[in-house]
Amino acid sequence: MKATETKDPTLEASFATQPLREALQNNLSSLGYDVMTPIQIQSLPPMLNGQDVIAKAKTGSGKTAAFGLSLLNILNAEYFEVQALVLCPTRELAEQVSQALRRLARLMPNIKVLNLSGGTPMRPQTDSLRHGAHIIVGTPGRVQKHLDKGSLSLDRLLTLVLDEADRMLDMGFMDAIKEIVRVCPRKRQTLLFSATYPDEIKKLSRAFMQNPKEVSVDTEQDEIAIAQRFYEVVPPLNKFSILKSILFHHKPSSTLIFCNTKQQTAQLANQLNKEGFSAVALNGDMEQAERDLAVIRFANQSCSIMVATDVAARGLDIKELPAVINYELAFEHDVHIHRVGRTGRAGHKGLAFSLTTSADGMRLAAIEEGIGHALSFGDVKELSHQDKEAFLPEMVTLCLDAGRKDKIRPGDILGALIKDAGLPMQAVGKIDIADFDSYVAIQNNFADKAFKYLQSGKLKARRVNVKKLR
């Protein structure tokens, strides 16, 4: 009797099984990307086949690499016109997507990815567009402005991507999206990614897409990796006290706290800072430069707590986030699931806490119905109160006044700090390069040494100004 052959599931989920051009396959191997994530397994084959796709997937699921590989696979580098457009709800997400696409395309020569987002002047973007671009990533409002002005043409567009489509609709971008789609070629591929799938998304897909294939990732496994607890606050004025008890008890290295209003994020961040914690707010009322710095500090772990609204946090992509706290419950079950799903990723355990009051009965019932089992309530008395000393982040962010426009790369900064300043490799954390500035996270006990060297030393044969971000 012939033995039955068993297929290796790792091989079936390998990028090597996909019809990707050689440069992309080689780059994936060099980056250590061998096995596809669930959303990539489901969405990449139909996208590479040229189909329109609707994918229900949250931030951190690998969706950016999925649509990025698809649009890069058909890109003609010799043809210097816009061949792909990725629309995002926020500038932060657009910048992260831009960086991810550049990383995926690094073995494809001369691919130009341009970010057209609000919060920055139009003129530098217009000047860059004069020299052409292969891929545009941007927010709907700013992309529409460039189309109206005539500085952007989509006549040769091959792929349109709507990333975080539900949040773009929540932020009132529907009209802008309609205008952008109206000037896109009718013969194109349209890819829509959304964390939730409300009726508005269904209407959007019917209007803009051709027989789209729908894919969705089961979140059951994610929920298993997340320990979720609800705490009832009586009276409601005790909410801040219970929040502190949770932080003191668990001491998460990074915590994302959700509020429902912009004003509440600022007030809560101020309260936490007064208590000795390291916290920043993130909301739509902040200046773009403030928002950028807040995201950088939180992502590189030089700030322990971020207090954000749902819309502002949508652009965040923090790979390892130990804890999420709902200071105020979300109004919709899908939004609650999306908040909680930001922790417990990539095989890591996550903590999710929600503070509730007597007014939250309907929201709690909706969450319980959505997850299909009873909610787990914690006892505030079980939270340890032994160590009430606020804990500070392990990293400090240094800002240098030289960036991408000065041909600065992460390797230049890393080399200067390790080879010249004598810092150990593990003392240097995340490095972010912006157009005119660079940011590097340094362990606390090496921060002064790095600061003094950068003040007196040189970076690529030029002196730079450096400051510590607080």
| Whether domain 395-469 has CATH 3.30.70.330 | yes
Per-residue pLDDT of 198-239, as tens digits, reads 788 888 888 889 999 999 875 544 454 678 899 999 887 789
d(CA 71, CA 74): 6
How far is Cα 10 from Cα 205, in angstroms, rounded to an integer?
Answer: 33
Which of 324-333, 346-355, 413-422 comes out lowest in average pLDDT?
346-355
338-363 burial: b if 16+ Cβ within 10 Å, else e: bbbbbbbbeeeebbbbbbbbeebeeb
**Domain residue extents for the chain:** 9-216, 220-382, 395-469
Please list, in sequence order, all residues whose beta carbon lies within 8 angstroms of the beta carbon of residue 139, skipping any fewer than 6 positions away.
87, 88, 89, 90, 91, 94, 116, 117, 118, 173
- Residue 359 Cα to chain centre, angstroms: 32
CB 176 within 8 A of CB 138: no
pLDDT of residue 231: 93
**107 class by beta-carbon count within 10 Å (0-12 exposed, 13-18 middle, 19+ buried):** middle
Q: What is the pLDDT of residues 128-179, one digit of tens each?
A: 999 899 999 999 999 999 999 999 999 999 999 999 898 888 888 989 999 9
- Tokens 């929920």 -> residue: 223
Calculate what percentage of the chain has a pLDDT beyond 90.
49
Q: Over the stretch 304-318, which tens digit does the pLDDT of each residue have?
A: 999 999 877 876 767
Please, what is the Cα angle at 162 between 50 and 166, to 5 degrees?
Answer: 135
Kindly indicate the confidence band of residue 387, based on its pLDDT and cuts at 50, 70 and 90.
Answer: low
Q: Do residues 283 and 330 make contact, with C-beta atoms less than 8 angstroms apart?
A: no
Examine the pLDDT at 385 and tell me if it is beyond 80. no
Q: Of 54, 330, 280, nearest to 170 (Cα)?
A: 330
Contacts of 38 (CB under 8 A, 6+ apart): 61, 62, 217, 218
Query: What tens digit of pLDDT does each residue of 263-272 get?
Result: 999 999 999 9
Which of 97-111, 136-150, 244-258, 385-399 is least confident?
Answer: 385-399
Looking at residue 201, what is its pLDDT?
82
- Rounded Cα–Cα distance for residues 37 and 15 (Å): 10
CA atoms of 441 and 428, how far apart (whole Å): 6
436 CB neighbour count, 10 Å cutoff: 13
The structure's pTM equals 0.66
Q: How confident is the model at residue 420 (pLDDT cuts 50, 70, 90)?
A: confident
Q: With DSSP H G I counted as helix, E B as strand and the rest as coil, what are the percentages for the chain, rounded to 5?
A: 45, 20, 40
Identify the CATH homologous superfamily for domain 220-382.
Answer: P-loop containing nucleotide triphosphate hydrolases (3.40.50.300)
pLDDT at 162: 95
Same topology between domain 220-382 and domain 395-469: no
Residues 6+ apart with CB under 8 A from 113: 98, 101, 102, 105, 133, 134, 135, 137
Q: What is the pLDDT of residue 7?
A: 42
Let me know if domain 9-216 sits in CATH 3.40.50.10470: no
